[in-house]
Structure 1
Amino acid sequence: MASAHDKAVLQAIFSPTTPFGDIPGLNQEEELTDDDSSFDPVLLKQVKDLELKGISAAEAGDVKTALHHFNQAIQILPSRSSAYNNRAQAKRLQGDTKGAIKDLEQAISLSKDKGRSACQAHVQRGLLLRLACRDEEARADFERAAALGSEFARQQAIILNPYAALCNRMLSEVIGKLRNPEMPDMQ
């Protein structure tokens, strides 16, 4: 069985864009959940059913119906963050980026920046900000989502970190020289 150090070395060789010693999944937190215990169980079930219908409609390409279901879920339990995340995706599919970001900010606020909804909202907002070339804000969202346990967000934060990119490039060059010592310097 390989030690953590051995795994880190192999990770550096086969995936030189990640920092040395950073093994994906090694420190990943357990599955995130939202604390829905404060909601009436009957209303919560109703809202979850509406969200599932909305997700199914969105996956089928019927964004208008999806939005209708998400809006109903929000009307029933306006202080639950999950439906805002889902509605943000539907708004994004419609091209309403500002509306999507507003819903994601609401989801983060309602979740008190904890749990699955906060993690997803930070990832989604980070992606939208990155598409808008607002990389510093996107990196902050990815870092927060990574702290909440998102492996994808951790990778995105590394990609957007200029210092990490420089270190990774240098490490790639070193590994390249170790693989092929005959190779001339690329400077």
Structure 2
Amino acid sequence: MATPGDLAVLQSILNPCTPFGDLPDLDVVEKGADALDDDDAYDPDLLKRVQDLELKGVLAAESGDIKVAIERFSEAIQLLPNRPSAHNNQAQALRLQGDVDGALKELNQAVNLSSGKGRSACQALVQRGLVYRLQGQDEAAREDFQCAAGLGSQFARHQLALMNPYAALCNRMLTEMVEKLRNPSVQQN
């Protein structure tokens, strides 16, 4: 098993444009229960029904039946409208269906209901950041990725690095250097 120091060294080698010691998901571990959604406020039996509906929705989406997935997520939202997880899942299904505006509405709802905290907020911020990025709204995407990174999303950190012009330059230079090492006889322009 690797020590935190070993992981930090590996992280700096594999991701040279990130700060030294930036360990994936370290802040999720440090935050403990705060990093998770608070489902304690809901009736356990009702919560179980909603979670079962969400699972059925996810399975339907994975099998390509987006219509059924949306129906299951809608049922879950009707049972517990203030629980952000189902809104987040609904957004993903809507996005897969091509309804970007509907997806953004659900993502906004998930972020608002979660008060920007927990796993659902993190996932919703990443999804919304990706939608913004596809729409060319880079500043809005950067803000969402920054918030999600603060909640522990390694993917969001990676997206921030990709959006950083200095990181892009670093990646290009590293790629050129590795190519020169692999093929010393090939001249790079």
Which TM-score band (shorter chain)?
A: 0.7 to 0.9
3-state SS of 1:21 partner: coil
Contact 1:126 1:138 (8 Å CA) reproduced = yes
Q: CA deviation at 1:42?
A: 1.3
- Structure 1 pair 5–76 and aligned structure 2 pair: CA distance change class (3 A): closer
**Matching residue within 42, 48, 51 for 1:48:** 51
Q: Is 1:157 equivalent to 2:160 in the alignment?
A: yes
Taking the aligned partners of 1:99 and 1:28, their CA distance within structure 2 comes to 31
Q: Where does structure 1 lack aligned partners over 5 or more consecutive residues?
A: none
RMSD between aligned alpha carbons? 3.2
Aligned to 2:142: 139
Q: CA deviation at 1:22?
A: 4.5
In 1: Cα distance, 2:43 partner to 2:19 partner: 47
Measured after TM superposition, the shift of residue 6 of structure 1 is 9.6
- For 1:47-126, what aligned pairs fall within 5 Å after superposition? 47-126=50-129
Taking structure 1 as reference, are residues 136 and 7 closer, same or farther at Cα in structure 2, changes over 3 Å only? same
1:21 aligns with 2:16: no
Return the alpha-carbon distance in structure 1 between the equivalents of residues 134 and 7 of structure 2.
Answer: 37
User: Structure 2: where are the runs of 5+ without partners?
Assistant: none
Given that 2:94 and 2:100 are in contact with CA atoms closer than 8 Å, whether structure 1 keeps it comes out as: yes
Deviations 1:61-90 (A, max 9, x none): 111111111101101110000000000011
**8 Å contact from structure 2 (residues 25, 153) kept in 1:** no
Counterpart of 1:33 (choices 27, 33, 36) is: 36
Secondary structure in 2 matching 1:29 = helix
The answer as to whether partners of 2:74 and 2:90 remain within 8 angstroms in 1 is yes
CA distance, structure 2, for counterparts of residue 98 and residue 145 of structure 1: 21
Q: Aligned letter for 1:114? A: K
Change (3 A) 1:73 1:163: same
SS at match of 2:110: helix
More helix by share: 2
Q: 1:25/1:96 Cα in 2 relative to 1: closer, same or farther (>3 Å)?
A: same
Distance in 2 between the 1:20 and 1:115 partners? 24
Instruction: Give the letter aligned to residue 26 of structure 2.
Output: N
Q: Over residues 124-155 of structure 1, what are the superposed CA-to-partner deviations in whole Å (9 max), with x where a residue is unaligned?
A: 11111111111111111111101000111111
In structure 1, which of residues 121, 129, 132 is the aligned counterpart of residue 132 of structure 2? Answer: 129
Displacement of 1:41 in angstroms is 1.1
CA distance in 2, matches of 1:29, 1:77: 26
Percent of aligned positions that are identical = 53
The 8 Å contact of residues 50 and 76 in structure 2, kept in 1 or not, is answered as yes
Give a deviation string over 1:72-121, Cα, whole Å, max 9, x none: 11011100000000000110010001110110010000011100000000
Q: Quick check: 2:8–2:21 contact (8 Å CA) kept in 1?
A: no
